[in-house]
Amino acid sequence: MPHPPFPMHVSVTEAREMLSALLPALGTETVPVAQALGRTLAADLEARVSHPSATESALDGIAARETDTLSASAETPVRLRIAGESRAGVPFDGTVGAGECVRIYTGAPLPAGVDAICPVEELQDDGPEHVLLRRPAFPGDVRPEGGDFRAGEVVMRAGLRLSAPRVALAAALGHARVPVRRRMRVALLSTGDEVIEPGLPLKPGQVYDSNRVGLSAMLQESGCEVIELGHAPDSPASLQAALGAAGGANVLLTSGGVSMGRYDFMRDLLVEHGSVSFWKVRMRPGGPAILGGWNGLPVFGLPGNPVSSLVVFHVIVRPALTGQPVQSLKLRAATPFRGLKDKTAFWRGVIREGEVGDYGAQGSGILRSLSDADALVIVPEGGAVEVGEVVDVVLL
C-alpha cells in the first residue's frame, strides 16, 4: 500500500480526537445516585445542605467549656456536673452552664454553651450526676458546621468520573438523582480462529479469549452499555455477519485482525467495504489500531495482543467514550526506561516508595504485566528516561 487513501501512523492524541469526532453526542439524563458509579457527571453539583449540619462531636465523651477544664490532670481531676446527654439524632436542647457538661457521642450536636470535648477514655464517673476529667477538654475534637461543605457551595464539577467516593459525596450533598452523560452503547466483538471461550479444553495454538472479558469489564467500569457480539473466526463473511448484529449500538469495538498479517480481515473489511479514518498509531504497545466506519457506525479496531488492546482502550478509547481525560501524575524513575524513535511508549511500571520502576517483561502478549503493574509509564517519542528523572505515569 504505497499511497493509502487515509492517514497512517497518527499520534495518540490525534487517534483520541478522531474517535471522539466520530462518536455521537448523546446528551444527558438523570439517574438515581446509587446507580451512577462510573458515569460522567454532566453538570456541576451544589451542596443542598451543609455538612455537618450543626457543629458536632468527633468523639464519645463529654462536652464542656474548655475554660472550666484547663487545670484537669490525672493527679488533680476536674469535677463537672452532668446536665444531660446529646446523641446523634437526639440533641440536648438546653444550655450547659458553668461547671457543667453533657455526655456526648460521635456525630451528636454540640449543645449551646460548650465548646470542647473530653474523650470517654479520660473520664471517671463520680456518682450518678458527676464526672471527673483527667485531662482538659479539647476544642479540636468538634467538627464545625459546614466543615465538609456548606449549603449552596459548588462541590463537584461537570466532567468528573463518578467513582465510589464521589457517588457517596453526591448523596451527602443531598442529591437523590444526578445528571450524567448518557451511556455510550458499545458493541464488542473479538476475532481470531485461535481464540476460544475460557473453560473449554485448549488445543495447541489456541488461546482463551481474555480481551473480550477484559474490554467488557473496562467498558462497564467506564459506565458504558455493552452489546455483546461474541466472537468471530477469521473470515470476512463471519466478521460481516457478526458486525451486522450490532443493532442499537453507537460504536463498534473489535479486538484482533488489524495488523499486517494475511488473516487480519478486520482491517481488509474496513479498507475494502467500509471506511478508514486512520490505521496505526505511533505508540507501543498498540501500534496496529485502526479507526473506520461500517454500516454508518464508527468502528475502533483494537489489536489482538492482550496488552495492546487494553492499553489502547485505556489511553485512547475510554477517554473518547466517556469524555473523562486520562489522569496522569509525575513520579521519579527508579530505573531507566527505553525510548522509541517514532512512538510513544507505555511501559508497565511498579511503584515502590514513591518511585516508579520497570516492571520487566514488556511484551505485548504478557498480560501479567498489566495485572501486576501499578502504572503505565509514558515515554514520549524519541525520549528516554534515566534513573532519577521525573516521568508521567497513568495509574492502572
Q: Which residues bind to ligand AMP, rule: CB under 6 A?
A: 190, 192, 194-195, 207, 209-212, 255-257, 259, 261, 264, 303-306, 365
Q: Judged by CB, which is closer to ligand AMP: 55, or 238?
A: 238
304 belongs to the binding site for Mg ion (CB under 5 A): yes
Residue 84: CB atoms within 10 Å? 15
* Partner in contact with 305, chosen from ligand AMP, Mg ion, none, beta carbon below 5 to 8 Å by kind: ligand AMP
Bridge partners (DSSP) of residue 130 are: 81, 126
| Cβ-based nearer residue to ligand AMP, 303 or 357 | 303
Closest CA to 363 of 318, 322, 314, 308: 308
Q: How far apart are CA 144 and CA 140, in angstroms?
A: 9
**Closer to ligand AMP at the Cβ: 18 or 239?**
239
For ligand AMP, give the closer residue by CB, 178 or 227. 227
285/304 with CB nearer Mg ion:
304
256 binds Mg ion (CB under 5 A): yes
Question: In this chain, which residue has its C-beta nearest to ligand AMP?
Answer: 304
Residue 255 near which of Mg ion, ligand AMP, none (CB within 5-8 Å, type-dependent) = ligand AMP
Query: Is 292 a residue that touches Mg ion (CB under 5 A)?
Result: no
> Of the two residues 100 and 264, which places its CB atom closer to ligand AMP in the complex?
264
Closest separation in Å from C-beta 170 to ligand AMP: 36
Residue 306 near Mg ion by CB under 5 A: no
* Strand ranges in 116-158 using DSSP code E only, listed in sequence order: 116-119, 123-126, 130-133, 142-143, 154-156
194 interface partner picked from Mg ion, ligand AMP, none, CB below 5 to 8 A per type: ligand AMP
The backbone torsions φ and ψ at residue 140, rounded to the nearest 5 degrees and listed phi first, read -70, -15
The distance of closest approach from Cβ of residue 255 to ligand AMP in the complex, given in angstroms and rounded to an integer, is 5
Report the nearest approach of ligand AMP to the CB of residue 254 (Å).
10
Residues near 376 by beta carbon (within 8 Å), at least 6 away in sequence:
311, 314, 315, 346, 347, 348, 349, 393, 394, 396
Residue 86 touches which of Mg ion, ligand AMP, none (CB < 5 to 8 A by kind)?
none
Residues in contact with 357: Cβ distance below 8 Å, sequence separation at least 6, in sequence order: 333, 334, 335, 349, 350, 351
Shortest Cβ 215–ligand AMP spacing (Å):
9
What DSSP designation does 262 have?
Answer: T
Contact, 10 vs 282, CB < 8 A?
A: yes
By beta-carbon proximity to Mg ion, the closer residue of 136 and 306 is 306
Q: How far is the CB of 200 from ligand AMP (least distance, A)?
A: 13
Query: Strand pairing partners for 391?
Result: 331
Q: What angle do CA 48, 53, 55 make, to 5 degrees?
A: 150
Residue type, 337: F
Report residue 203: phi and psi, to 5°.
-85, 160
Minimum gap (Å) between residue 353 Cβ and ligand AMP = 34
Closer by beta carbon to ligand AMP, 127 or else 204 = 204
Q: Which is nearer to ligand AMP, 250 or 309 (CB)?
A: 309
Q: How far apart are CA 213 and CA 331, in angstroms?
A: 31
Binder of Mg ion out of 61, 136, 179, 192 (CB under 5 A): 192
Task: Tell me: does residue 179 bind Mg ion (CB under 5 A).
Answer: no
Neighbours of 48 (CB within 10 A): 13
What cell was used for 174?
443531598
| Binding partner of residue 369 among Mg ion, ligand AMP, none, CB cut-off 5 to 8 Å per kind | none
CB of 341 to ligand AMP, least distance (A): 23
DSSP symbols for 220-254: HHTTPEEEEEEEE-S-HHHHHHHHTT-TT-SEEEE
What pairs with residue 385 in β-bridges? 337
Q: How far is the CB of 195 from Mg ion (least distance, A)?
A: 7
Nearer to Mg ion, 305 or 344 (CB): 305
Taking the C-alpha atoms of residue 285 and residue 315, their distance in angstroms, rounded to an integer, is: 11
Residues binding Mg ion (CB under 5 A): 192, 256-257, 304
